[in-house]
Amino acid sequence: MGPKAYEPLPQEIERVATEIVQAAYEVHRHIGPGLLESTYELCLVHELYTRGLQFEQQLALPLVYKGVRLEAGLRLDILVEKAVVVEVKAVEALGPLHQAQLLSYLKLANLRLGFLVNFNVPIIGQGIQRLIL
Task: Convert the pLDDT of each residue in 4-49 to its tens digit.
Answer: 557 899 999 999 999 999 999 999 999 999 999 999 999 999 999 9
Instruction: Write down the pLDDT at residue 2.
Output: 53
CA-CA distance, 28 to 121, in Å (whole number)?
9
Angle, nearest 10°, between helix axes 37-50 and 11-31?
130
Instruction: Write down the pLDDT at residue 1.
Output: 45
pTM above 0.85, yes or no: yes
Three-state DSSP state, 61: coil
Cβ-Cβ contacts under 8 Å for 14 (sequence gap 6 or more): none
